[in-house]
A = this chain, B = another copy of it.
Amino acid sequence: MEALSKNKVKFINSLKIKKYRSKNNAFVAEGEKIILDIIKSNAQLLTLLSSDISFLELAIFKGVEKFKISAQEMRKISSLKTVTSSLAIFQMPEKIEFRPTQNNSATIFCDGIQNPGNLGTIIRTADWFGIQNIVCSNKSADLYNPKTIQSTMGAITRVNISYQDSSTFFEHLQQENISSFGAFLYGETIYDIKFPKSAVLVIGNEGKGISKEVEKYITKKITIPKFGNKAESLNAAIAAGIIMSEYKRQF
């Protein structure tokens, strides 16, 4: 095993920024569990760094570029508040542009979710509910942001996520006659909604809600009833979780 060069550290740090992730077609994941989870999916491991020699020596990592580093070095390159012992660089898997059909179960559409923690939590919740397809508008947070990856808690490897142009996606829905349900402050209460199996569930931006561009395509405006009189909004991931739960109780 070689020593970690300054250039390698620079490269890892550059992957904290979306521009360099795209340019290099690579992303970083931290923590032994999530690294093993991602290996089980279709992402290729490029480089492994760890302060734990027994982890580095696992048979599964044979032939991979590896570095034994100190806990102190790890603190310098980690994006996490609670630093783990291992960090891996993966090649980004090929993107599959999912297009729903009437035969599919629900699809989540994230219309400009900005907070990577919220996006990751939505992915984690979709995985819990067995909702396999998530489509994000191009303005949404990046899937490979370290905070998104961390808050998916491994679900990133089990759910199909793609970034698509909103208009193209919703025009496809119209052609296929697939209904979309968008969360608004004033809509029909979710407790009365009967969802079709192939429903598209649309979650808006944290501050601005669903965009004008997407709103015009929404088949049905739905609302999580508010019982207080002062609250202004729900957290976007909480709203997504409640809507997914309402959908799943019907199927």
Residues of A within 8 A of B (CB): 117, 121, 124-125, 127-131, 151, 153-155, 158, 191, 224-228, 230-235, 237-238, 241-242, 245-246, 248-249
Shortest Cβ distance from A237 into B: residue: B238
- Given A191-B249, A233-B153, A121-B238 contact (CB < 8 Å): yes
Residues on the B chain within 8 Å of A230, using CB: 127, 154, 158
Q: Which of these, B128, B228, B231, B246, contacts A234 with CB under 8 Å?
A: B128
- Given A242-B242, A245-B224, A125-B191 contact (CB < 8 Å): no
Residues on the B chain within 8 Å of A233, using CB: 128, 153
Residues on the B chain within 8 Å of A245, using CB: 224, 242, 245-246
29 examples of A-B residue contacts, CB within 8 angstroms: A117-B117, A121-B235, A121-B238, A124-B234, A124-B235, A124-B238, A125-B235, A127-B228, A127-B231, A128-B228, A128-B234, A129-B226, A129-B228, A130-B226, A130-B227, A130-B228, A131-B227, A153-B232, A154-B232, A158-B230, A191-B249, A234-B241, A235-B237, A237-B238, A238-B241, A241-B242, A242-B242, A242-B245, A245-B246
Residues on the B chain within 8 Å of A226, using CB: 128-130
Residues on the B chain within 8 Å of A191, using CB: 249
A128 to B227, Cβ gap below 8 A?
Answer: yes
Given A124-B231, A128-B228, 16 extra CB contacts under 8 A: A124-B234, A124-B238, A127-B228, A127-B231, A128-B226, A128-B227, A129-B227, A129-B228, A130-B226, A130-B227, A130-B228, A153-B232, A155-B231, A158-B228, A225-B248, A227-B248
A236 to B238, CA, bound (A): 10
Shortest Cβ distance from A246 into B: residue: B245
Shortest Cβ distance from A238 into B: residue: B241
